[in-house]
Structure 1
């Protein structure tokens, strides 16, 4: 079903619904009573195939609701409709208003539960990882280079060469870059051998060139995933690299995710997030290799999804303003420009300037969100 109109006048709403029925468009009327006692009637169509025609007639109805075409015929069969949240007792409006407000708040809280759980999970992973860094830095030298247990467990892939590198750090107690510059000849030989081991580094490294260019596309791909650890397709989304990183992402998730969760079924919201996460993560892996993190690929996808729904079905009422999309789009473009500058500076050996921004995940997520937003499968559900 699809919501096409919300009319304040019950008589006009019934007349318009009757007209659609005469045109062969099956409809349902859903009357809602607000706290002031005013009735608003929603007009829903049952078939997606009738959407374009129904929207056309509603635009005509808005232009002139008194048009004779929209007047019900004498022998018209009454269209059944239901009243939702109609009060049993109107004499105590204060109690009634309080009850309705509680109902709205409960529904709002219920609808945001999944988004809140995701936020809590991301925060937990961030804090747990930070605790690992603080606690195990002295006993696990590889932690100093970012290879914490949770990072290794949730990264998109961990090829054998990385395991060898971690083993080298731990065996030789290398816990800083300063110590890497003071290796013995034997250690240096072993280190170069480990670093030279093949693993997928992504097409970005290949196009930059240099001595590692040829090897960047060699080595095993999807190593851990092919071993059955398919959760790694989505798990990098739950890791974040710093306080500002997780704060920025979670604020966006709270704003975008909660709006989608209010309008579609929870399992569809989870499916949408899963698709966005898997595709954006995989695209990022192919471009930059296995080590990236953050929920921003999904967030950009959710933003693209909402923008698409606003264009395809504006009556669904997503309240995100165009200025918000412009800000997010400008941020993505800015990060992309910085990455291009970094690429060319490194390519032409001006300087080894690098920024760790998952631009591929951002762009692929946003594009995929725009595409998925056009599917009626994700249209607003009747509550």
Structure 2
């Protein structure tokens, strides 16, 4: 039989996965060089609520001060940098991507503190050649789910992929969430933000903040479901060391900074949302409750997953070992199947943030099983009324054991609560 210890163990395992889930977001970027000037632009497309800008001064004579933006808290290391620029005009951006795992080659240093590592690159390097030499010392396949672009004040750029470092010097360059070495143009153009950027630049390009504003706007994301998308746009002048920020795809309001002026103030950090006018779309994002930003909902789904799993095992034992069910013999089979399906679905919901933001039915490009779960809410709608009726009949007849009826009742209540959440999360696409 299933013991309380097994239930607790299952819950702990799922909760650990939930707390350590890797949240993948979309981003885009570009660089433009013309008439001796280089501008670098970045769109961070994320669902986080904590975008920050911070400045770190040089601590030694052979290092550089830098500005960083980021929204993901990394514990004792502070916020993880998403983009940034140092005081000699070297800038970078980190973008989520996919690259198949390959066998590591060479004896290189491991990357153990990625947030500090990314800061050190800007603090120690002046050109993309220096960045390449810095990365070459390390096993940068650690960043298997990322691609980086570094741009220096001369207009040269370096693309850092998990297994490849490539320097380029074209006047313009656009990047999004893919590794260029393994992605052809046709596939890259399926990303609207990338295609829009390339087509915008092909018409004409200038090195000015006004032009970068329009280009960033053309590449920004604003999804239909709740208006989420580009959290922060940063445009950097790598020669004058000035930059402009736009918050939550509002391109009517910006804040400008001079890097040298800010570094003279010493190390400091700024929470960005409070600096901009009230943003209706961001308020809507803040109010939207999902497992990844509301621990109570997350724990509830973990608990539901444990309930469904225990229910499936309990009735499997009842059928196979004891064969003790006297009536409605089809119901245990249904509970076993539903229990296993919805155990998996709860796991999907607490480990896949994108499901809550993209329109239903959610399509996962790499896992057909996740795509299939998009139709599970409809399964609940089909069974919920018959399930209520059967539960009522079980109470009337009283020929099932108390544990069996109790589990059926708890499952019924869980399914009913889930339907309410599915309506709130707009999982029903009719």
With structure 1 as the length reference, what TM-score do the two structures score? 0.29
Larger radius of gyration: 1
More helix by share: 1
More strand by share: 2
